[in-house]
A and B are shown apart, each in its own frame.
Chain A
Amino acid sequence: MTAVPAGPDRPAGPAASPGPEAPGVPGAPGVPGTAGPLLAARGVSVFFPVGSQLVARLRHEERLLRAVDGVNLEIGRGETLALVGESGSGKSTLALALAGLRPVDHGEIQFDGRVLPASRSRADRRRIQMVFQDPYSSLNPRLTVGGMLRELLRVHHVVPRTEVDSYSEELLSLVGLDTGALSAYPRQFSGGQRQRVAIARALALRPDVLIADEPVSALDVSVQATILNLLRDLQGDLGLTLLLISHNLAVVRHLCDRVAVMYLGRIIEVAPTEQLFSAPRHPYTRGLLAAIPRLTESARDGGAPAIAGDPPSPLRIPSGCRFRTRCPIAQPRCEHDDPALAISPDDPRHLAACHFAFAPVPATSIADRDKEGPP
């Protein structure tokens, strides 16, 4: 389990002003002194049992897929945090756990300092809403947009019954759809329009936090821009706290204040956006950034890929540092010593889980010594 140097224990109530050990809160925009993160994951793990658990117990093995393996994360009120990672990193599972759509096996989710129980109350559910990746499966094909919104509004008594329709119309105009959409079925909309409906639905309950899981990955490039701009505008206008899950770092750069990078179920780096892009500290983050195709460089010029090899299977996570099997600067120490998230001496908001994140790397590394391999 990574040990995050946490701030002073925060009971539900006004907390002391956060010291340098409380990442995420100082410097987060729109946080006028309200201490304590709005949404936090503390030591969260989510496992998927694989295969026969009976056999596993008999053999004293663990047949578990550790999708999320001991994650600490905090999101301050009003900030936009990006959760970035490739497939198998656990980012979507973590998002579902935060949204209360997947039970956690260890750890807890806190909202405004209060622990959220496994089975959330209706009032709690209102506070955290989600937009999903696939616009084609996130809307019930049998309900009109209006029907969908009405149901949510009525069940939660968000507005008096007489105002439900006008409120629904307001929601639609907020996301750039006209009122005709209320009586339309999802099949009549394009992908980008469906995502807008999904955003309207998520906003209907006036949530405090919006979790967007790859909201534009399934859309054409020119449409992505519209939705991203919309999210950014909404965040500004409504003061939303936004958690954006994405595998596309370029998208993240346009929208987010801070970025957390995940690898094989753990957060391996967290930093304010520009710092992450200009001075990444974890070798994986560096590789991820280097791997992004650019207009100016070309693969044709030769050169090794940013990160070689395949990610290990989440069923067999490497001992010690989980990135060591692909790390260009891996050392003998990395095999048994699992690095915790360490704070940068220069900036308390920047953390990285690498023994050499803020220290010089020894001259030769394991990777140098046994160099071989495919491009």
Chain B
Amino acid sequence: MSAVTVTDGAGPPAASPAPADRAQRRAARRWYRQPALMAGIVIIGVILGLAIAAPLLTSYSPIVQNLNATLQGPSAHHLLGTDQLGRDTWTRLLYGLRVDLRIAFIAVLFPFVLGTILGCLAGYFGGWVDVIIMRLVDIVVAFPFYVLVIALVFVLGPGERSIYIAITAIGWVSYARIIRGEILVAKRQDYVLAAQAGGLSSLRIMGRHLLPNVITQAIIYAMSDIVQDILAIVTLGYFGLGVPPPTADLGSMINDGQNFLSTHWQLTTIPGLVVVIVGLGLSLIGDGLADLLRPGQS
């Protein structure tokens, strides 16, 4: 037997519900208390802060070369030294972060939207809509992620636009599956039946009744997806298929630096470390959100 009391106030004709603010305050308190979530937020906050404030934190340009000052170690002038073309590493790091973060955040959005829409249609309507969409999913899933991404970008030519197209074309499937699964369950809930009985259109039911209740799973997944996208972008950059030089980008920095691994290891390692930290921060946020939004919260 559940411990929740289900009896109600029946006597006076006007029965009122419990106050809302108490429940909301309780929810807010829990949010602060999640150590994983807070740690992740702090990390990403710092990273974002650095990226946004880049022009304030450095006076150098990330692309201007200075062949007199190549491969210098850390010093008062160059916090982290310079690379083989005399560009300040710290500066390139900050501007590279900007580029990569921006691309990653945008790149996660398109698959999210596309996958959610297709998954919703598949789950709600079933039938041949479901069959077609799921077969598409099967086809995409059959290929390893990186093979497909690299192939697509190669065909489309390097650059931001190609990255978006490639990642969207492949990344939507995970969202579609997640949302479809959630919708299959959610549409059996009585409130959906009630909405159908109420003559509401399918579009309205999907948009107003179903999606708001199932979207949290997709959001949680999106957090880990951003990490994957960042890695993908960095990898593409490493292969020279990312943002074309001379734009600073963590992936190309890692690539460039690997020629000097034995002498100036910081050129490769530091960008690599930054990628790891960003990934860690986002994962922590994802975990924290998953805990917070776990079903079973009343």
Contact = CB atoms under 8 A, between A and B. Distances in A.
A and B directly contacting (CB within 8 A): yes
B194 A178 contact: no
Given A151-B208, A187-B298, A223-B10, A193 B17 contact: yes
Given A137-B189, A138-B194, A142-B212, A126 B16 contact: no
Interface string A176-218: 1110110111011111110010100110010000000000001
A152 interface: yes
B8 A193 contact: yes
Contacts of B16: 177-178, 180-181
A219 B6 contact: yes
Interface in B215-230: none
B196 interface: yes
Contact of B6 (A132, A141, A143, A191): A191
Interface string A126-140: 101110111001111
B13 to A, nearest CB: 5
A89 B289 CA distance: 44
Contacts of B189: 137-138
Contact of A188 (B13, B14, B18): B18
A331 interface: no
Contacts of B204: 151, 155
B6 A125 contact: no
A192 B6 contact: yes
A138 B190 contact: yes
Contacts of B144: none
Q: State which size class the interface on A falls in.
A: 35 or more
Given A125-B199, A176-B15, A180-B16, A138 B6 contact: no
Contacts of A132: 190, 193-194
A123 B199 CA distance: 8
A125 B198 contact: yes
B194 A198 contact: yes
B199 A190 contact: no
Nearest to A126: B199
Contact of A130 (B194, B200, B213, B298): B194
A138 B298 contact: no
Interface string B178-196: 0000000000011101111
Interface in A136-189: 137-143, 151-152, 155-156, 173, 176-178, 180-181, 183-185, 187-189
Interface in B14-28: 14-20, 23
A188 B20 CA distance: 7
Contacts of B15: 176-178, 181, 193, 196
A183 B24 CA distance: 14
B197 A125 contact: yes
A96 B190 CA distance: 11
B75 interface: no
Interface string A105-121: 00000000000000011
A226 B196 CA distance: 27
Contacts of A99: 197
Nearest to B22: A188
A101 interface: yes
A176 B14 contact: yes
A122 interface: yes
A364 interface: no
A101 B14 contact: no
B14 A185 contact: no
Nearest to A221: B7
Contact of A138 (B5, B20, B23, B191): B191
B9 interface: yes
Given A137-B190, A219-B6, A130 B18 contact: no
Contacts of B194: 130, 132, 138, 198, 201-202
Contacts of A173: 13-14
Given A191-B6, A192-B7, A156 B199 contact: yes
5 nearest A-B pairs in the assembled complex, by CB-CB distance: A178-B14, A192-B8, A125-B199, A190-B8, A138-B190
Interface of A: 96, 99-101, 120-123, 125-126, 128-130, 132-134, 137-143, 151-152, 155-156, 173, 176-178, 180-181, 183-185, 187-193, 196, 198, 201-202, 205, 218-220, 222-223, 226
Given A142-B209, A155-B198, A176-B13, 4 more contacts: A125-B198, A138-B190, A184-B17, A188-B20
18 contacts: A100-B197, A123-B199, A128-B197, A129-B198, A130-B197, A132-B194, A138-B189, A152-B198, A155-B199, A173-B14, A176-B15, A190-B7, A192-B6, A192-B10, A198-B194, A205-B198, A205-B199, A222-B10
